[in-house]
Structure 1
Amino acid sequence: MAAQTACRPLGKRPCRMQAFRIWDVNQKTFYLRNNQLVAGYLQGSNTKLEEKLDVVPVEPHAVFLGIHGGKLCLACVKSGDETRLQLEAVNITDLSKNKDQDKRFTFILSDSGPTTSFESAACPGWFLCTALEADRPVSLTNRPEEAMMVTKFYFQKE
């Protein structure tokens, strides 16, 4: 029951994991390559490689993000001066907004018109991003206004 109580943002019914499609404003979708989340243009039979994001709301405008049925979660990790995005083998429904160690999995959603940006709760000012070039790793940037990084995504419930 712990996962359900942790996942009750406004005292309503327990929330469930939901699948979302995500693609950046340049139409690149997410997929896995060598156990790394990358963004690129998938066509033809490759479109089945597209990763859907598994989302569990933590509170209004804050979510846990995962892939592979919520078995791999996106985390913002700081080591020394480096802040990076990594996939961790954690079950998304086991995470709790009340545990400090789970804060690295929390992303704050900001909508601007039809697009959404994802800011790390553990590393404020760091945003989920894709590179302008295709087939580059999905990562984090602390310069969302920089033209080389894309931080605005279309985010649509499946």
Structure 2
Amino acid sequence: MKKLIMIMIAASLLVFSVPVAAHAQKDIAVENVGIYNSSVGSNKKFLRSVPKGAIVNYLGNGKLTYLNTTGFTLLTERLCPVSSNGWYAAVMKRSVRLPGDQGSASSSMNDVVRVKPTVTKKISGVTYVKCAVYNDGWFWNFWIKPGDVVRVDGYAYNSIVRFTSM
């Protein structure tokens, strides 16, 4: 009986330890990136350019799909998840100077930033939300007015998110 219980426990551990199939993730291109037919090798050919602000289907390990073209990019740091751990990708509506915990940063119209709407701070009586700015890497300690950005988590794959003021 004891051996049977041990075998059943071991079998259940094996069942639960099998990895689940990888899921695609909705990402936005922070800067222009290229899609290639292979991630390495001499036969690597350029397939398509992904413009800044494009919503892509990131499949993992550098593989992504944009406008029915599936291929590889080496520039995965230029992709940002649309939604992750309470942070949401957003596009700037206008050029502003963002106050930060250690200094400030400038951000231009149509720059991709990340906002965390659950973390707020009052600065001179105005409510700001936590913001991250991309500059060859993410810098996380900035604040932005919620009205200065447009969140992109509701946009569909293959969209290009740009704010225009007409």
TM over 0.5: no
TM-score (norm 1): 0.28
Larger Rg belongs to: 2
TM-score (norm 2): 0.28
